[in-house]
Structure 1
Amino acid sequence: MPHPTRQRIFISGASSGLGEGMARRFAAMGRDLALCARRLERLEALQAELRSAHPGIRVEVAAMDVDDPRSVATVFSELADRLGGFDRVIVNAGIGKGASVGTGGEAANRAVLHTNVLGSHAQCEAAMELFRRQGMGHLVLISSVASVRGMPGSRTAYGASKAALNALAEGIRSDVYGSQIEVSTILPGYIATDINVGRRGPLTVGLDKGVDALTEVIEREPVRGYVPPFPWRPVARLLRVLPLSVVRRVTGS
């Protein structure tokens, strides 16, 4: 059975990278958007661009700090009121800094865990409260292939934060199983964004190609989707079964 068109889409972390790219792709598809990030000036520039390029759509923006649950709840509610609700919420905002545990990078690692886990949780709470009232919706959590196994070096806290999102998404999915609320966990591989500068492997794809694959997968509303599907679906399968000594060499630091 085909999925309904998700006309009203909320995207966090929309001022750059994958979030900005998704906003452009969904705008080109005629969707109405609610875009959030900390950098309001960048959101307002994107809003003007999208409204000019696609005059028939609605684009609402607001500054939101995912580290502050009150900010998330307030901004989410305000934007939902402006669009009359949301059909899809994409929990995308996150950070990717970090260092090997025990090497003096505690503050950076803690920030990654706080933003990526608690910030995403706050968005999920707001989204699911709305979806439960509406009786429908599509919740999308942007995870990472780095969540499949423990990652060394600068990816340790990042991979752990994304593994937490996988479990969070599955728990929510189990809770509303059989309802009209869909939950998707999306695991991008290496895509050329600011978040993974210095961590890009030989399988890294460009931002445009990565965003095209990402929006295509999200539109299918899978339980779990890899981006791009090739090579990251088979790579993820391998990572799950390879000895840690091999995973360590493959993933680097």
Structure 2
Amino acid sequence: MAQQRNTILITGASSGLGQGMAREFAKQGRNLCLCARRVDRLEALKAELEQQNANIKVSIKALDVNQHDDVFSVFNEFKQEFGSIDRFIINAGMGKGAALGTGYFHANKATAETNFVAALAQCEAAMTILREQQQGHLVTISSMSAFRGMPRAMTVYAATKAGLASLTEGIRADLMKTYGSNSPIKVSTIYPGYIRSEINEKVKNTPFMVDTETGCRLLAEAINKEPVKAYVPRWPWALMAFLMKRLPLKWVLKLS
């Protein structure tokens, strides 16, 4: 039985999946630590959530996850404010990019730095607090694209999400070495399928796309179960994960 996590920190909370998950956890009565670059959006979200549920506390802080020292400072400030943080959701990311060799190294580099190096900083800061507390839940938001190499604009994005998934499993492996199979610190990798958000709002006619509200409700439900990994929505993405890992690349490209 998964524990009740009363205080949840979400990065990249000003839009998209981060914003949607904040709304879902607020409905469940959880206290929230929300951080992102766009403070005006965070302020509006804080007012909305506190109006909907007067029994929760919502704290917001400006954070550019590529400023790595700030990641540690902000996480620690939230910890001091709330006393403990029960769950960290490492969600901040970006989707810029283009086929390698076409003159867009700057965009591919920005995606690599934000989705992997900055995620490493967030995981490091979160795990420092979780180890100190000797309890809690680390969640990373990967992607179904992590299972195979992807073409064009998705090439670097998919690689970073594969790296994040591997990093997360490595953290779990390390905790198993320390605590055995019953670690008080739980670690989950979440693989979202096609959920409508700002990062993909211009993509049209995509099969199996679900709206933001539905997708974020399913994300929150999956996270609360504290699985080792979860595909969201489960249908058809659990089957797709099985196929993507086994089919020849030319067939995977037809599925993507």
TM-score by length of 1: 0.97
Q: Deviations over 1:131-162 (max 9, x none)?
A: 10100010000000000100111100000000
- Structure 2 counterpart of 1:18: 17
- Alpha-carbon shift at residue 204 of structure 1 (Å): 1.0
1:191 paired with 2:190, answer no
- Structure 2 counterpart of 1:144: 143
- Structure 1 counterpart of 2:80: 81
- Which residue of 208, 218, 223 maps to 2:223? 218
**C-alpha distance in 2 between matches for 1:244 and 1:126:** 36
- Alpha-carbon shift at residue 197 of structure 1 (Å): 3.2
* Identity, % of aligned positions: 50
- Structure 1 counterpart of 2:66: 67
Aligned residues: 250
- Which residue of 234, 239, 245 maps to 2:244? 239
- Structure 2 counterpart of 1:174: 173
**C-alpha distance in 2 between matches for 1:197 and 1:163:** 23
**C-alpha distance in 2 between matches for 1:158 and 1:26:** 27
- Alpha-carbon shift at residue 176 of structure 1 (Å): 0.7
- Whichever residue aligns with residue 227 of structure 2, its letter is P
SS of equivalent residue, structure 1 residue 153: coil
Structure 2 gap segments, 5+ residues each = none
- Whichever residue aligns with residue 222 of structure 1, its letter is P
1:209 paired with 2:186, answer no
**C-alpha distance in 2 between matches for 1:228 and 1:185:** 14
**C-alpha distance in 2 between matches for 1:198 and 1:24:** 23
SS of equivalent residue, structure 2 residue 209: coil
TM-score by length of 2: 0.96
- Alpha-carbon shift at residue 199 of structure 1 (Å): 4.2
**C-alpha distance in 2 between matches for 1:92 and 1:238:** 26
CA RMSD between the two structures: 0.9
Structure 1 gap segments, 5+ residues each = none
**C-alpha distance in 1 between matches for 2:10 and 2:97:** 24
**C-alpha distance in 2 between matches for 1:197 and 1:248:** 21
- Whichever residue aligns with residue 218 of structure 2, its letter is A
SS of equivalent residue, structure 1 residue 151: coil
Q: Deviations over 1:210-253 (max 9, x none)?
A: 111100100011101000011100011111111111112332xx
SS of equivalent residue, structure 2 residue 191: strand
SS of equivalent residue, structure 2 residue 129: helix
- Whichever residue aligns with residue 195 of structure 1, its letter is I
Q: Deviations over 1:142-197 (max 9, x none)?
A: 00000010011110000000000011000000111232000000000011111123
**C-alpha distance in 2 between matches for 1:106 and 1:197:** 23
SS of equivalent residue, structure 2 residue 122: helix
Q: Deviations over 1:12-35 (max 9, x none)?
A: 000001100110110110000000
**C-alpha distance in 2 between matches for 1:36 and 1:150:** 31
- Whichever residue aligns with residue 217 of structure 2, its letter is D
- Structure 2 counterpart of 1:30: 29
**C-alpha distance in 1 between matches for 2:254 and 2:214:** 27
**C-alpha distance in 1 between matches for 2:202 and 2:26:** 31
